[in-house]
Amino acid sequence: MPLVSLTINGFKSFPDKIKINFNPGMTGIVGPNGSGKSNVTEAIRWVMGESSARSLRGDSMQDVIFGGSELRAPLNRAEVTLLFDNQSKQLKTDATSVEVTRRVFRNGDSDFQINKKDVRLKDIHQLFMDSGLSRDSFSIISQGRVEQIFNSRPENRRSIIEEAAGVLHFKQQKQSAQTQLAQTTDNLIRINDLVNELK
């Protein structure tokens, strides 16, 4: 499932719209310290549904918006678009080309789109789940993450393997079914109490 391109506009150190095309083979991004290499990988993680501002080195999600420089005023919006070639159908959709967009505004508003249709964060997570590209997967390994994986507890390491093996999706579905079951059981108990009161 090749990455075709990444378009960044107003995200972190990129006030102007830039497009990176990922041609077949290996793509390397080089540059001096502080030039924005990590910001590029963070843009990819962000558009794929990263919801922790901390893991993007910020305090709030609005910190991903270009915050101004000596020569440029701060912006009010950050937008990132990632385009995938999905002919292999690794992403859970029938579309052969998948474009995912995420935007955030200074006032806190944010939105997501898959192929230009508004969706929820949950839909983005579901799209990438089991593709090996979800936000918790190890397809993107940031600085320090290797040590973190090695030093993590066995249960946490296990969830990485489960993600890669494609069972995490079923575990989450099971958990959500169990929560629903518990709620339904509570409702039934309440209904029985009411029926007994009315008798």
Binding site for ligand ATP (CB under 6 A): 12-13, 31, 33-39, 63, 65-67
- Token pair 């992403």 is found at 91
Minimum CB distance to ligand ATP smaller for 11 or for 128: 11
Q: Which is nearer to ligand ATP, 12 or 135 (CB)?
A: 12
Least distance CB 3 / ligand ATP (angstroms):
18
**Residue 13 C-beta-side C-alpha neighbours within 13 Å:** 12
Q: Which residue number, 2 or 74, has a Cβ lying nearer to ligand ATP?
A: 74
User: In terms of C-beta distances under 8 Å and separation of at least 24 residues, what long-range contacts does 60-64 make, across chains too?
Assistant: 61/104, 61/108, 61/110, 62/104, 62/106, 62/108, 64/11, 64/12, 64/104
Residue number with CB closer to ligand ATP (58 or 132): 58
Residue 57 CB, nearest distance to ligand ATP (Å)? 7
- And the tokens for 116? 């230009």
Least distance to ligand ATP, CB of residue 90, Å: 28
Least distance between ligand ATP and beta carbon 12 (Å): 4
What is d(CA 100, CA 81) in angstroms, rounded to the nearest whole number?
A: 6
